[in-house]
Amino acid sequence: MTKKTKRKKIWRIVGLVIGIIALIWIIIFFFPVSKNTDLHKFDRERPLVIAHGGGNDLAPSNTLAAFTNAHELGVDMLEFDIHMTKDDYLVSIHDPTVDRTTDGQGRVNDMTLEEVQALDAGANFQDVNGEYSYRGKGVYIPTVDEIFSTINDSDMLYTIEIKDSNDPDLYQEMSVLLWKLIQEYGLEENVLIAAFDQSIIDMVLEASDGEALVSGGRDEITKFVVFHKLFLNGLYQQDVHALQIPTEDSNINLMDKKLIRGAHNRGMDVHYWTINDPETMQELIDLGVDGIMTDRPDLLMELIDK
């Protein structure tokens, strides 16, 4: 076989591979997957109003005071973060320590539930008028169990982030405990579980036998964005139900209608965080996003109701 013949053969193989890739891309791009029925409760025909921490600017973050206030406002979804106490209770708090949001000190993983709940979780909160309006009012750090039982609304949606600031050896146990609580309250179709660390998402899927609704971790989001920006989104295959992303990351604009359409073509919802100004809220509404996470759910609801 001559060198010229060999080169022709190689180029035929290369052309065939490129052709197959292009065909797969075209099929996926122009024939998107069917709508994800797992998220049927999330379809409100408008962006979901997601109260970040229950509405961090309106009441003490991650507390029953915030969650009940957001529920009364009529939000679609409550977002909160969880850590685990030394005696294995899942509690709603953003930070790994109680220092910033309470009048105490210490790591949540090293404290008992009794110690955590003895603290004033409204001590450091300042409302929109700069007042310490919840200080000394009995606000405390709640358990996930208490949140579900207090809200007690079959239409309420939740996005719960397992924080990677927990001790890594607790991730698996937290995933199992959270899934058991979700099942106990019959909220399998209402709760979207999130984590920045994709390995936590994998543990949640393992603990739930693949039944949990999950949002992509940072690695999954990066993979999706890179594929999209390189026009290879047709080759992207996901194992998650939603992407929760900022409007920009590493100087890359993520407020991109094509990116949103690409996610929808793969059967995923797209939620943006954390949006507190009405102008950006309106831009996202106009782009057709599925959810907007905000510290000011009252402002977002006013826009949507217009």
The residues annotated as belonging to the active site are 52, 94
Element (H, E) at 286: helix 278-287
Residue with tokens 């990677």: 164
In this structure, the number of other CB atoms found within 10 A of the CB of residue 63 comes to: 25
Spatial distance between the Cα atoms of 261 and 241, rounded to a whole number of angstroms: 14
In this structure, the number of other CB atoms found within 10 A of the CB of residue 261 comes to: 17
CB 205 within 8 A of CB 175: no
User: What are the φ/ψ torsions at residue 116 (nearest 5 degrees)?
Assistant: -65, -45
User: In 3D, which of 167, 115, 168, 134 has the Cα closest to residue 62?
Assistant: 134
User: In 3D, which of 279, 294, 258, 237 has the Cα closest to residue 58?
Assistant: 294
Please state, in angstroms and as integers, the Cα–Cα distance from residue 107 to each residue in 85, 135, 144, 145, following that order: 9, 21, 18, 21
Spatial distance between the Cα atoms of 90 and 75, rounded to a whole number of angstroms: 23
Q: Which two tokens stand for residue 184?
A: 């106990």
CB 176 within 8 A of CB 207: yes
Q: At what angle do helices 144-151 and 171-184 cross, to 10 degrees?
A: 20
User: What are the φ/ψ torsions at residue 105 (nearest 5 degrees)?
Assistant: -140, 150
CB 148 within 8 A of CB 84: no
Partners of 233 in the beta sheet?
A: none
